[in-house]
Amino acid sequence: MGEPRRPDRVAEAIREQVATFLAEGAKDPRIRGFVTVTAVDVTRDLRHATVFVSVMGEADAIKATFEGLASVATHLRSMLGKTLRLRNAPEIHFKADESIARASRIEQLLAQVRN
């Protein structure tokens, strides 16, 4: 049986690489707004990686950003395979992470209660 923590290490490496790619190398004009990679979840067999991203902006900009992310997923998969030297690079799936927006909303509600 393999190391149980390897998927965690691979997930962290993927998170760093995807964040760097989105900050520096994403050429798709649909990826706009403030995009933050919050977490990556990798299956035990390292075949699939779910990348949780938080996108700040208006609803149409968020939708366009996720379309752009979906279109660069295959390029990103290829890049990750080469950079991380993985035999089989995981399939990349992007998913919205609402935790930052939810935390902001809770802070607003608490501020209203205090006043």
49 within 8 A of 88, measured Cβ to Cβ: no
Predicted pLDDT at 2 = 54
Share of the chain above pLDDT 70, in %: 96
What does the pLDDT look like over 35-81, one tens digit per residue?
889 999 999 888 999 999 988 878 888 888 899 899 988 888 998 88
Residue 24 clears pLDDT 70, i.e. is over it: yes
Both tokens of residue 49?
A: 């990686």
User: 0.85 exceeded by the pTM?
Assistant: no
Q: b/e map of 46-77 (b: 16 or more CB within 10 Å)?
A: beebbbbbbbeeeeebbebbbebbeebbeebb
